[in-house]
Amino acid sequence: MGSIDDIDRRILAELQRDAGKSLESLGEVVGLSRNACWRRIKAMEDSGLIRSRVTLLDPVQLNLGLTVFMQIRTNAHAPDWLNAFSKATMGMPEILGVYRMTGDLDYLIRARVADMADYDRLYQALIRKVPLSDVSASFVMEEIKETTELPVLRRI
């Protein structure tokens, strides 16, 4: 189960770009019958390699044009704190990513908001739920790249 062959990788490469592709066109691209493709996809769904098929939306039209990264330093290392922090960030839909970083004292949050005022609302809402000693925010001026595609083709 550890190894994924080249045909599977090419199927995944296609599906990552467009989940709505028909089995027929997929088969043509990878050089397999529709049926063989379907069996491989099913197997990869069952193994969990294929996690889900989702729809991506335009953040600007949703009035979420500002991406912000929040860097959080804490001196509270108790599991209670992490638990509360996890729960709080999970429940805030503007927060898209929460990462515990190396060093064990830094957390990074990736969030999308409308503007600075909206960020302040998010910040206030967060510190009302979890005690945070040190929070600094960096705002994204330009999104040069943003993708959900993972590198699946075998690298040299």
Partner DNA sequence: GGTGAAAACTAGTCGGC
Partner DNA sequence: GCCGACTAGTTTTCACC
Contact residues toward a copy of itself (CB under 8 A) are 4, 12, 15-20, 47-59, 61-62, 64, 67, 69, 85-86, 89-90, 93-104, 106-108, 112, 138-153
Tell me if 34 sits within 8 A of 23, measured CB to CB. yes
Between CA 149 and CA 15 the distance in angstroms is 9
Determine if 35 is a binding residue for DNA (CB under 7 A): yes
Task: Return the C-alpha torsion angle 28, 30, 32, 35, nearest 10.
Answer: -80
d(CA 132, CA 51) in angstroms, rounded, equals 33
Do residues 41 and 50 lie in contact, with contact meaning Cβ atoms separated by under 8 Å? yes
Query: CA-to-CA distance for 74 and 82, rounded, in angstroms?
Result: 10
Nearer to DNA by Cβ, of 29 and 125: the residue is: 29
Stretch that binds DNA, among 34-42, 80-88, 102-110, 125-133 (CB under 7 A): 34-42
**Positions in 37-76 near DNA (CB under 7 A):** 38-40, 42-43
Among a copy of itself, DNA, none, residue 143 binds (CB under 5-8 Å by kind): a copy of itself
- Does residue 32 bind DNA (CB under 7 A)? yes
Provide, rounded to whole angstroms, the least separation between the CB of residue 131 and a copy of itself. Answer: 17
